[in-house]
Amino acid sequence: MTRTLLLHDADAAVAGIEDGSTILVGGFGLAGMPFDLIDALIRQGAADLTIVSNNAGNGAVGLAALLQAGRVRKVICSFPRQSDSYVFDELYLSGRVDLEVVPQGTLAERMRAAGAGIGGFFCPTGVGTPLAEGKESRMIDGREYLLELPIHGDVALIAAHRADAMGNLVYRKTARNFGPVMATAATTTIVQVTEVVPAGTLDPESIITPSIFVDRMVQVRPRHYLVAGAR
């Protein structure tokens, strides 16, 4: 028995996302970015969002488009600025969006901790930097560590390459990135996939995200974007 719901379009998939939600958005730059779900979220209208992602948007598509629409209150990410992050740059420098920088490995582990039911963990990354401010520290075997707390999402928006009808997911190469940990860390996980196959078709040993972590799913056409270096 599965609770995954295969929906007919992305708009139906994001229906009901509330203002003020914390949304985990998959992607490493543009690789694995759930473009169709983000576009649908813009149409849906939810605002005052906290976005958790590796980056803070590229060019004017995907996450950058959500930021440009004025729907985001805060971004939690590891790599906010790059050559084509002009949307985020303008919003942040003008004080219209807040930022919390989290080292990349710590970001992944904080979400993994949320999915695993771990209340926190000690990590040496960030010791002696401004990222340590306000955090509990502890000496363990002669080395200083910081207490990091889990990141829970109200919703996760992720992209997968293939799914079966039950919602078991397979990713494509580096597009996998944060998808698996985000799927476990959110109350509701919504997935866009490019192909849906009958249950039992996927090799069980190849399944990365089991259907128990997937709540809604929509099949979309593949979309290809080039990273824009300038406006």
Q: Model confidence over 205-226: pLDDT tens digits?
A: 999 999 999 999 999 988 765 4
pLDDT tens-digit profile of 165-187? 999 999 999 999 999 999 999 99
Confidence at residue 224, expressed as pLDDT on a 0 to 100 scale: 60
pLDDT tens-digit profile of 45-93? 999 999 999 999 999 999 999 999 999 999 999 999 888 899 999 999 9
Kindly state whether residue 166 falls inside one of the protein's structural domains.
yes
Kindly state whether residue 181 falls inside one of the protein's structural domains.
yes
Three-class HEC string of 26-59: CCECCECCCHHHHHHHHHHCCCCEEEECCECCEC
Q: In the beta sheet, which residues pair with residue 41?
A: none
Confidence at residue 83, expressed as pLDDT on a 0 to 100 scale: 85
Q: Output the domain CATH number for residue 213.
A: 3.40.1080.10
Structural domain of residue 9, as residue ranges?
5-103+149-219
Confidence at residue 227, expressed as pLDDT on a 0 to 100 scale: 42
Kindly state whether residue 137 falls inside one of the protein's structural domains.
no
Confidence at residue 143, expressed as pLDDT on a 0 to 100 scale: 97
Kindly state whether residue 144 falls inside one of the protein's structural domains.
no
Q: How far apart are CA 231 and CA 222, in angstroms?
A: 24
Q: Which of 145, 141, 140 is nearest to 126 (CA)?
A: 145
3-state secondary structure of 166: coil
**Percent of the chain, pLDDT > 70?**
95
Q: In the beta sheet, which residues pair with residue 163?
A: 169, 196
Average per-residue pLDDT for the chain = 93
Does the pLDDT value for residue 228 go beyond 70?
Answer: no
Kindly state whether residue 159 falls inside one of the protein's structural domains.
yes
3-state secondary structure of 154: strand
Q: What is the pTM of this model?
A: 0.93
Kindly state whether residue 210 falls inside one of the protein's structural domains.
yes
Kindly state whether residue 116 falls inside one of the protein's structural domains.
no
Q: How far apart are CA 151 and CA 59, in angstroms?
A: 26
- At 229, the pLDDT band (50, 70, 90 cuts) reads very low
- The answer to whether the beta carbons of residues 154 and 193 sit under 8 Å apart is no
Q: How far apart are CA 181 and CA 106, in angstroms?
A: 12
Q: How far apart are CA 172 and CA 164, in angstroms?
A: 15
Q: How far apart are CA 169 and CA 13, in angstroms?
A: 17
pLDDT tens-digit profile of 20-54? 999 999 999 899 999 999 999 999 999 999 999 99
Q: How far apart are CA 61 and CA 189, in angstroms?
A: 22
**Per the structure, how many domains does the chain have?**
1
Kindly state whether residue 13 falls inside one of the protein's structural domains.
yes
